[in-house]
Amino acid sequence: MKGVIGQCHLRLKKTAGFWGFLSVLVVFLIPQQADAQTKVLIDDMEFRADAQAAIDSLYNRNVEGTYRVLQPWIQKYPDHPIWSLWEGMELWWTVLEDLSDKSKDDEFFHVMRRSDHLAGELLRKESDHPDALIIRTVANGYVARHHANREQWLTSANIGRRAYQAHQRLIEVYPELPDNEFAEGLKLYYSAYMRDNFSFVRTISWFLPDGSRPEGLESLRTASIEGVFAGPEASYFLAYILLNYENRAADSQIHFRNLVNRYPDNGYFRRLHVRTLFNMQQYRQVVQASTDAIDHWEEHSPPQGDVMKEELYYWKGRAHYRNGQLERALHSFKESITLGENFSNLDERQFRALSAFYAGRTSERLNKKEEAKDYYRLAANQSVHKEARSEARNRLRNL
């Protein structure tokens, strides 16, 4: 039982996030080269302002709003390769919000590979074109990051190296990039973290730069405060690192709460916020934050509502369980299980396995042994979360 509870904090998979630091947010301030023939969009002050608004819409899961802002630029420069990158970033949020669903992976990889190809064509014609370097950096960075989500570590590292090389060229050409603290912070932190924690990285560490976890965190903190376009992304990565790698949930919660307030329709940020509250054992706040998020989705109907609610009902049930409110806990676990039935990959959803296991535990404590057996069987038959499956089988043998 201890193993399940320990695992059930369910932090995000510890991906090779080093390769995901290369977000498009960090590079909209690079000045235009004088000899460039293709329009350098990021050198246009009006585009910077519109891009920032478009990014805010994207983070708030408002795709229509994003393209409403960008449409005049798309019409004026239809052949610019950056639009392919925007399509890839839109898909990124789709795959990120439901990592249990792999149906969009191939499409995402295809769009990002196409973005990299278009950037390469522009670089062959116009060496060091800022937009092309940005696109190559970001496209490969996100592809590497998603391979890491799928635990394809060597593939992630190989593709991430391509992103890293493009980013290094940007730093060489424009060393005074205002938002450089963001990328440099992640480079410093993850270089040190990966060497410390992944044995396979030590065999291929020849291409990793020197790193420092404290210095990396400090650079991220600076970027989250002073960054113009990189501020929100720096806040996210700082919160993510503090939660998943540094065991500093209270500090992480502050950043996630700010992101929830800024992007209320982003279910991914809401889920991470609730997880941090649970890790801090603030169970009343878990119930309140979960209820607020579910009510918001019922009223406004943003995308990926069932995915978010499946997880939030689980955490809400865990909070009720910890507070001894067993009937309420069982209701929440049942809601999570029911929502999971809306998805095609039923046996690959971690929160379905976890909710079923804890529904069994709660039913057992309520002396509903036959009902408990049904939930344990459901948990035991899942293909994910080994600890929950194993513990469910043990409980079945004891009933």
- Kindly report, residue by residue over 208-257, the tens digit of the pLDDT: 567 789 999 999 998 888 765 677 888 899 999 998 899 898 899 999 99
pLDDT at 326 over 90: yes
User: In terms of Cα–Cα distance, which of 48, 52, 53 is closest to 65?
Assistant: 53
Answer yes or no: do 79 and 132 share one domain.
yes
Domain boundary, last residue among 246, 266, 286: 246
Domain boundary, last residue among 246, 262, 293: 246
Confidence bin at 18 (pLDDT 50/70/90): very low
Is 300 inside any structural domain? yes
Return d(Cα 194, Cα 216) in angstroms, integer.
13
For the chain, how many structural domains are there in total?
2
Is 269 inside any structural domain? no
Q: Could you give the 3-state DSSP secondary structure of residue 177? A: coil
Pick from 30-34, 229-233, 272-276, 321-325: least confident: 30-34
H-only helix segments in 77-226: 82-97, 105-125, 130-149, 153-173, 180-197, 199-203, 213-226
- C-alpha distance from residue 164 to each of 5, 29, 72, 187, 387 (Å): 38, 19, 32, 9, 36
DSSP state of 8: T
Answer yes or no: do 149 and 218 share one domain.
yes
pLDDT at 197 over 70: no
The pLDDT score that the predictor gives to residue 227 is: 67
Answer yes or no: do 369 and 238 share one domain.
no
Residue bearing tokens 């708030």 = 60
The pLDDT score that the predictor gives to residue 362 is: 97
What are 124's two structure tokens?
């062959």
Largest CA-CA distance found in the chain, in angstroms, rounded: 77
CA torsion sign for 271, 292, 329, 359 is negative
The pLDDT score that the predictor gives to residue 209 is: 64
Is 252 inside any structural domain? no
Range among 149-163, 208-222, 322-336 with highest mean pLDDT value: 322-336
Answer yes or no: do 72 and 123 share one domain.
yes
Contact call for residues 373 and 356 (beta carbons, < 8 A): no
Is 264 inside any structural domain? no
pLDDT at 267 over 60: yes
Answer yes or no: do 232 and 357 share one domain.
no
What is the rounded average pLDDT of the residues 160-167?
85
Answer yes or no: do 335 and 199 share one domain.
no
pLDDT at 195 over 90: no
Return d(Cα 130, Cα 187) in angstroms, integer.
20
Answer yes or no: do 36 and 150 share one domain.
yes
pLDDT at 14 over 70: no
Answer yes or no: do 326 and 199 share one domain.
no
pLDDT at 19 over 50: no
Return d(Cα 153, Cα 208) in angstroms, integer.
15
Answer yes or no: do 96 and 193 share one domain.
yes
> How far, rounded to the nearest angstrom, does the alpha carbon of residue 79 sit from its chain's CA centroid?
30
What are 209's two structure tokens?
């730069």
Contact call for residues 359 and 326 (beta carbons, < 8 A): no
Domain boundary, last residue among 246, 269, 287: 246
Residue ranges making up the domain that contains 345: 277-398
Is 258 inside any structural domain? no
Answer yes or no: do 87 and 179 share one domain.
yes
Answer yes or no: do 235 and 298 share one domain.
no
Pick from 89-93, 337-341, 353-357, 383-387: least confident: 383-387
Answer yes or no: do 99 and 169 share one domain.
yes
The pLDDT score that the predictor gives to residue 360 is: 96
CA torsion sign for 329, 331, 334, 340 is negative
Is 256 inside any structural domain? no
